[in-house]
Chains A and B, each alone.
Chain A
Amino acid sequence: MNLEELKKLKEKAQRQVALREGQKKYRVVISMGTSGIAAGAREIMKTMLDEIEKRGLDDVEVRVTGEHGLEDVEPVVRIEEAGGEETTYARLDIEKARKIVSEHLEKGHKVDTLAVGKQKKTE
């Protein structure tokens, strides 16, 4: 724990927040209420931020919300696409979070095995 490390993390957060300008192809919304945090949402967020940055995906913004209303299946991440399509991923772990970044956010392929519920489409 030191100040230099924290400053680097602050810059990381600022880079991510800067990506919120304008319409992005993907918006990742991580559930960070009490139950989400207890289930590991903080580590999921950190992993996804790292992976997004590592892969240089600048058409992705990451946001945080309170409870999604899916307390039993946390950690939960919702991916909203510019076209209005939404996918909810549940019961995530670090590996699954990495997979969502590489498959869904990078290649544009939804990871059906991890998705829950009906996918919302606007047409």
Chain B
Amino acid sequence: MFDELSLNLLDIGMNSFAAGATVLRITVLEDVRRDWFIVRLRDDGRGMDEETLRRVLTKNASTKVGRKKQIGLGLALLRQTSEMCGGAFHIHSTTGKGTGVTASMRFSHVDRPPLGDLNATILALCVAGPDVDVRLHYCSNGEAFQFSSQEGKHHEPRRTQETQGKGAAASRAA
């Protein structure tokens, strides 16, 4: 269904926003030498209980209630892709704490979809969740970088608040 793994990442990232996440961590690891391709998503959203977790891994399950047509294929799709490509799929979720998903694949597996346009996925996530800190840890064959959508954005006001707080305390003390 998805011909790029970056589309899976966008799809599952959108779930994190729906779960009220404030931080979404995405890791992409490409290791040709060890023949692994691993993607991981971790959020601090509201998480799922065991029953829901079981449901989302089966086809046509959705956490949206009261819909005539339930979609919710996203996690099942990624699981299918990773298992088909010689890897494994893990999901863990704690109610109130968040959800983590890891999918590994053999880098060289013929059926492994390409990563595709990860930039476009990050752009879409930044527009979809402007207040969420979308973090990307990208590591490809030894080259790595980190990205944060909120970097340099919240630091200013926070510092101002602190100074104001101190100022207020100082004036009270005086």
Contacts and interface: CB of A to CB of B under 8 A. Distances in A.
A14 B127 CA distance: 8
Given A6-B136, A37-B7, A38-B1, A45 B72 contact: no
Interface stretch (B37-45, B104-112, B114-122, B159-167): B114-122
Interface stretch (B10-18, B47-55, B80-88, B90-98): B10-18
A34 to B, nearest CB: 5
A64 interface: yes
B100 interface: no
A32 B123 contact: no
B120 A43 contact: yes
Interface residues of A, number: 32
Nearest to A11: B126
Contacts of B77: 34
A34 B145 contact: no
A5 B119 contact: yes
Interface in A16-32: 16-17, 20, 32
B140 A1 contact: yes
A66 interface: yes
Contacts of A37: 2, 7, 10-11, 14
A33 B14 contact: yes
Interface of B: 1-2, 7, 10-11, 14, 18, 64, 67, 69, 71-74, 77, 115, 117-124, 126-128, 130, 136, 138, 140, 145, 147, 149, 153
15 contacts: A6-B122, A10-B126, A10-B147, A14-B126, A17-B130, A32-B128, A33-B14, A33-B71, A34-B11, A37-B11, A37-B14, A45-B123, A64-B128, A67-B64, A67-B71
